[in-house]
Structure 1
Amino acid sequence: MAKKSRPDEEAAPPDVRRQVAELDRQIAAAVGRRAELTRQAAADGGGVLERLEAKSLQDAAKLAGGLGAERIVAVFREVNAACRPSSPQCRIAYLGPEDTFSHIAAIHRFGAAADLTPVATIAAVFQEVESGAAGYGVVPMENSTDGRVSDTLECFSRSPVRICGELPLRVHHCLLGTGKRADVRRVFSKPQALSQCRNWLAQHLPQAQGQPVASTAEAAAMAAKDPAAAAIASRQAGQRLGLRLLAEDIEDQKDNITRFAIIAPRPAEKTGADKTALMFETPHEPGALADAMAVFKRKGLNLTWIESFPVPGSRGRYLFFVELVGHQAEVRVRRAVEALQKKALMLEVLGSYAHAEPIG
């Protein structure tokens, strides 16, 4: 009787297996050494680790070879994540639970191997960073369909944390369930997700009633227990729970993007392709806002985001949030801030950060 080969022996010719095994040993040794150097950088503080990781990803994109820049950067992002020491400085708080779009954004930014900590509210993300329990936070700031995220703007109005990064994520909603789409009578999801899919639901599930819940992940868990229900959630949430994909990409606006802010105790360093966010309040008198906005024109600064937000507990008073092209360390940005300070009752620089293209 012929000797049966083990599955691992059939996987590849012996010489290939030996070469792969040797390369794997070299990779493991290199990652171990990389982890030692990462711990040294983290111990130095002062943003040394952040600069090291940013440079690592920039260099990785240039070393892509046949793999392509996106794939090799994803590999090095996970190397960075795995090498970070276990400490509050390297912990990342995000609006949970797992498999929400905030969780997906956190993975895109920091890697799946990072110390990702889900919390229940946006305010809790800010509290984790402000208290030092986490080094970074990931919070939604605006959506291309529904506009600003009010809870995030309110937290900026009373927290000293700074924006150190942005992550525009293309949000693709899926309809998930255990039964047939024709049998769905209830659709669970977060209010924002229901809003972003309202036209699709009206056209394809007119018999179903939208029922808001706290998160898309919670919606998926509820749909898993009810054959007459479906959830609007991420594909990842459905895969985790074994739900059927009843429909995909059901968002009404196909370029549906949620922009997430990466928050930390300090802003990011200048990269040459940066943006700066400001928050200010003007006197309640004719022309005050127009005078304030004219500062940006005089200094030649392009605005990429403008929002107004009522001051909590003060009827008739508003905070204005603006984002401009440039870093707060640049001369013309500094001069604009100085000029605006003279016209504002209150002014805060919320942070400077590198411009990022949409992903996902």
Structure 2
Amino acid sequence: MTSYSPCAAALVADMEALAAIDPSRAVAFQGAPGAYSHQAVREAFPAASPLPCVAFEDAIEAVQTGRAARAVIPIENSLHGRVADVHFLLPEAGLHIVAEHFVRVRHCLLGIGNQADLRAVLSHPQALGQCRARLRGWGLEPVGHFDTAGAAAAVADAGDASRGAVASALAGELYGLNVLARGIEDADHNTTRFVVLARESVEVAPGVPTMTSFTFLTRNVPASLFKALGGFATNGVNMTKLESYLRGGSFSAAEFYADIEGRPEEPAVRLAMEELAFHTERVKLIGTYPRSALRDMLG
């Protein structure tokens, strides 16, 4: 995504101006207004000034430079796994994860006329894939676009009743489109997890269920990952997420991103992290933050 369509650009200019008045209330997100990241900001911070950014790097930089107090970034989706590039950006950003938020993705069919007028629908390829059965049943041609909200804006700009969009109800509201159908996704568990980034870490009150996120680089020796993770098993620390990725063109050792339940000062977590550090090249804490109550509801 390199630019906004005219319809979206007008909204972006207004939102940027509002965020600039009081950056302490600004929360940056990636995408056009009406994106699911925008929805996440509105749900997590109802009184905030959402600040749209073209790329993830721009949203992170907005926090780094003080244009925004926080950024809300998608990290994984229940259907498609991790969000590309985010795991590379988080360790290098110098920011802290201070919260997590889950958004139930409910796709809507949007247009300027009636559903009977539609011949093709625009959206991000992942969104189109998530609605494949419904769109095929309606005989609608899927057309890939860089962003769900950007697709809605493009439909509003074009003014062509034969072209619709798959996007959020928020996007339909912002661009003046009709919601022709709601909840058109094929799977009813489509959920995206977002993390909230800030320049300063947060202190989680005692007794509050807590998550800790970190990255680590394994050594290039046999059973390095098994040894590194052994302390979490022996100390009864629950690891809810572990993903590997390669950096720097090397195939000899992998870097991992992990989420665990608990905080570093807890005895069990402290012992597990000490063993992790002993068996790895480096460990980098990214954040300790309250555990979302939605985790239990989402299973």
User: Which TM bucket (shorter chain)?
Assistant: 0.7 to 0.9
Q: Is 1:216 the counterpart of 2:139 in the alignment?
A: no
Q: Does the C-alpha gap of structure 1 residues 303 and 180 become closer, same or farther in structure 2, counting only changes over 3 Å?
A: same
- Give the structure 1 partner of residue 177 of structure 2: 243
Shift of 1:96: 2.9
Distance in 2, matches of 1:192 and 1:260, equals 17
State the secondary structure of the residue aligned to 2:219: coil
Could you tell me which of 20, 35, 38 is aligned with 1:103?
Answer: 38
Shift of 1:315: 4.0
- Give the structure 1 partner of residue 258 of structure 2: 322
- Give the structure 1 partner of residue 29 of structure 2: 94
Contact 1:217/1:237 (8 A) holds in 2: yes
Q: CA RMSD in A?
A: 2.3
Distance in 1, matches of 2:229 and 2:262, equals 16
- Give the structure 2 partner of residue 265 of structure 1: 199
Distance in 2, matches of 1:199 and 1:311, equals 37
State the secondary structure of the residue aligned to 1:221: helix
Distance in 1, matches of 2:269 and 2:20, equals 36
- Give the structure 2 partner of residue 308 of structure 1: 244
Listed one character per residue, the Cα deviations across residues 204-258 of structure 1 (whole Å, up to 9, x for unaligned) are: 33x41x2222222211122232222110111121122222222210112212110
- Give the structure 1 partner of residue 216 of structure 2: 280
For structure 1, the 5+ residue unaligned runs are 1-83
- Give the structure 2 partner of residue 192 of structure 1: 126
Structure with higher Rg: it is: 1
Contact 1:126/1:137 (8 A) holds in 2: yes
- Give the structure 2 partner of residue 136 of structure 1: 70
Q: Does the C-alpha gap of structure 1 residues 162 and 276 become closer, same or farther in structure 2, counting only changes over 3 Å?
A: same
- Matched residue pairs, number? 274
State the secondary structure of the residue aligned to 1:300: coil
- Give the structure 1 partner of residue 15 of structure 2: none
Q: Does the C-alpha gap of structure 1 residues 329 and 270 become closer, same or farther in structure 2, counting only changes over 3 Å?
A: farther
Q: Is 1:357 the counterpart of 2:293 in the alignment?
A: yes
Distance in 2, matches of 1:346 and 1:211, equals 44
Shift of 1:129: 1.6
Equivalence map 1:74-89=2 (5 Å): 87-89=22-24
For structure 2, the 5+ residue unaligned runs are 1-18
Q: Does the C-alpha gap of structure 1 residues 204 and 329 become closer, same or farther in structure 2, counting only changes over 3 Å?
A: farther
Contact 1:95/1:119 (8 A) holds in 2: yes
Shift of 1:312: 4.5
Q: Is 1:181 the counterpart of 2:115 in the alignment?
A: yes
Distance in 2, matches of 1:212 and 1:312, equals 31
Contact 1:219/1:231 (8 A) holds in 2: yes
- Give the structure 2 partner of residue 124 of structure 1: 58
Q: Which has the higher strand share?
A: 2
Higher deviation after alignment, 280-289 or 306-315:
306-315
State the secondary structure of the residue aligned to 1:301: coil
Q: Does the C-alpha gap of structure 1 residues 128 and 314 become closer, same or farther in structure 2, counting only changes over 3 Å?
A: farther
Listed one character per residue, the Cα deviations across residues 259-314 of structure 1 (whole Å, up to 9, x for unaligned) are: 01001123322232111111111013321111112121012101111211221533
Listed one character per residue, the Cα deviations across residues 51-106 of structure 1 (whole Å, up to 9, x for unaligned) are: xxxxxxxxxxxxxxxxxxxxxxxxxxxxxxxxx99543432111132111111111
When normalised by structure 2's length, the TM-score is 0.84
State the secondary structure of the residue aligned to 1:195: helix
State the secondary structure of the residue aligned to 1:158: helix
Distance in 2, matches of 1:109 and 1:287, equals 41
- Give the structure 1 partner of residue 14 of structure 2: none
Contact 2:74/2:195 (8 A) holds in 1: yes
- Give the structure 1 partner of residue 274 of structure 2: 338
Q: Does the C-alpha gap of structure 1 residues 312 and 170 become closer, same or farther in structure 2, counting only changes over 3 Å?
A: farther
Q: Which has the higher helix share?
A: 1
Distance in 2, matches of 1:355 and 1:337, equals 19
Higher deviation after alignment, 191-200 or 152-161:
191-200
When normalised by structure 1's length, the TM-score is 0.71
Instruction: Name the % identity.
Output: 34
Distance in 2, matches of 1:255 and 1:296, equals 29
Shift of 1:350: 1.1
Q: Does the C-alpha gap of structure 1 residues 327 and 178 become closer, same or farther in structure 2, counting only changes over 3 Å?
A: same
Contact 2:217/2:256 (8 A) holds in 1: yes
